[in-house]
Structure 1
Amino acid sequence: MGTKKLELSARTVEDVTFLKLKGVIDEDNPLAGALKRLEGRTVVIDLADVRRINSCGVRDWVNWLTDLDRAGKQVLLVKCSPTIVNQLNLVNNFIGRAMVKSFFAPYYCGGCDREQLELLQVEDFAGQGRPAAPAVRGRGCTQTPCQMAFDDIEEAYFAFLPRGAGQVVDQRLVAHINGLSPTIQERIRRLDSVEETSGETTRSSSAQYSPLTVTATGVSLARDSVNVLGPTGAPEAPPAPGRNKLTLGLTVAALALAGAIAAYVFFVAGKS
């Protein structure tokens, strides 16, 4: 037997099930069969090590979360990898009624050529009309000042953050966590953190990140099975401050050219 593409490990404490997913979510995923293992009414899912998800995986993931909701379970997502964040920004209803508590964001230092994934809390963006990446110092960096900068486009990467009355925070999330026992709250707090070792930057398997992931995934998704968000009405994105500025610019230009060609083909076909 081959190695499992997606590993699931679950543990229930009080009335909360802690579930960790690790690997690739594709057509061979075991999500449907895992429902009976999730005994708690609250399910906290650690997504730090989800490194890839394809269109079949997206479909199964959305259906699985729908099944969890129908079973009366409230899902909290913690430590979402960049792969998950990309899907949050691309696919309508990717998480259904689940709530995101924290996610990883990519940073890069041109001075020491260091990559770093920083764990950010959704609640830290409360009150920001336009979410901005927080300043981060490289782990183990000895330079002054540190040149670590956000390595993507803020407007695009943070697009999934909930907005309401000027508050970038989901009040349901706050209320639900406050309703849990102090023991469970502390357990979630410990889970929702990153250990630093010897001043070195440690990256999970999900850290195989590139801003091109958004584009590549969006093109490959089957539009008849999931609703993919397009660029229509999206605000103009500012240039990325990190190393991928040129790559992102070329990608946007290529997509614009492809869209123009497609529009011309449809126009010619319509006149035929």
Structure 2
Amino acid sequence: MAAASGLRAMVGVKRVIDYAVKVRVKPDKTGVVTDGVKHSMNPFCEIAVEEAVRLKEKKLVSEVIAVSCGPQQCQETIRTALAMGADRGLHVEIPAKDYESLGPFQVSKILAALAKKEDVNLLLLGKQAIDDDCNQTGQMTAAFLDWPQGTFASEVTLDGDKLKVEREVDGGLETVHLKLPAVVTADLRLNEPRYATLPNIMKAKKKKIEVVKPSDLGVDLTPRLKTLSVEDPPQRTAGVKVETVDDLVAKLKESGRI
């Protein structure tokens, strides 16, 4: 294992429809409308970037590499990570038509290949993306690499030659020790991401972004899942106010509830 000061971290950053945008389903129900819609970095990915940068500021990590898979516009997301403090970027360029069917399985293979190629010790990811909510990429990547994983992390510290990860679980908190190299996925409570300052945004424009193709990494993007239909959530009907218990019983009988 590399000394703490020699640890190299890779962070996955996904471009998603901005959380403040009202998502619209395409008329043909094959997906959601993305053209002309504001995009930004997945919020959980922002938390992962912030944690990697903090580890670097503590001199526990020597380099932070931001990676994104997708069309040309993903470089904007990488630039955001660079402005937050990442050192350089990797863009795995995927045409828009192929990107629509890209799933966690293919992304995990790409990340695993890049982690080996870049010889990183730590892979930091958001626990899930807000567009598909799959919560699979970190776990699959760890499996492909045969690395230990700490998911839903709310605290990450270096403890000797191991990584100490506090995890958010249903019953409270769980603490695990991971032998490096390892995969960690960020929970909402891990940190509060910083805002990129104007000077850092300008510096980010000069930082290097290397462009590679999935074929360069030996990854096949053939989809294994097919989306049959995307539907809007059912609209809720307005409630009815009643004055007395008798009115309530009458309404319930009328609706067939009792």
TM-score (norm 1): 0.27
**Higher normalized helix content (fraction of residues):** 1
**Higher normalized strand content (fraction of residues):** 2
TM-score (norm 2): 0.28
